[in-house]
Amino acid sequence: MVILQKRVPDLTELALDRFLACARRAAALKGAVNVLVTSSAEMKSLNRRFRGKDKPTDVLSFPAEPGSQKQFAGEIAISAEIAAHNARALGHTPAEEVKILALHGILHLRGYDHECDNGAMTRREKQLRAKLHLPLGLIERTGPRSDSRPRLPVVSMTGIGSRTKMKRKRES
């Protein structure tokens, strides 16, 4: 299910839903994914609540609880405002940026973690972006560079949350 709380130019719920279906198949992610495209204020609230970070972020992924329905993979939240800002800075459309962020979230739901996987997620995201006809990926533009080109400006980094962490935050 896709919910566009914030409008993204040239992107409809149907178009994002179709992209998600293609991206899930390409990433071999089983189960449905809920995506919320929302405001930076809401993303800040989610980031504070589930990750303890009091700042907005571009994308958050919330894998389904272990043992939950096999037909459900998890949820992704995306900031429409950060996506639009980064799209302008990188020279592509906000719709493309939302798709890049959705793909990034799908890979997190698939179990990848760019912070500790020695580049596996970066390589897989690059392959899938090419297959899905998407521009420069999130990890490539924010991670360390192997050449002298400067890193591209990005408002915030991605975050990944898990249901287990979310429960612990609520209890404490």
Total domains in the fold of the chain:
1
pLDDT band with cut points at 50, 70 and 90 for residue 38: very high
Q: Does the structure show a pLDDT above 60 at 162?
A: no
Q: What percent of the chain has pLDDT over 70?
A: 78
Length of the chain: 172
Decide if 108 contacts 63 (C-beta within 8 A): yes
Q: What are the tens digits of pLDDT across the range 103-157?
A: 999 999 999 988 888 889 989 999 999 999 998 655 555 555 444 333 334 333 3
pLDDT band at 68 (very low <50, low <70, confident <90, very high): confident
The answer on pLDDT for 67 being more than 80 is no
Question: Does residue 160 register a pLDDT over 80?
Answer: no
Predicted pLDDT at 149 = 35
Q: Model confidence over 71-83: pLDDT tens digits?
A: 899 999 999 999 9
CATH of the domain at 51: 3.40.390.30
- Bridge partners of residue 75, in order along the sequence: 34, 62
Helices (H), 28-137: 40-51, 80-90, 94-109, 120-131
Sign of the four-CA dihedral 85, 86, 89, 91 = negative
Q: Which domain holds residue 77?
A: 2-171
Helix count and strand count (H, E) for the chain: 7, 5
Mean of pLDDT values over 66-71: 75
Q: Check residue 143 and give its pLDDT.
A: 53
pTM for the full predicted model: 0.80
Can you tell me the mean pLDDT for 75-94?
A: 93
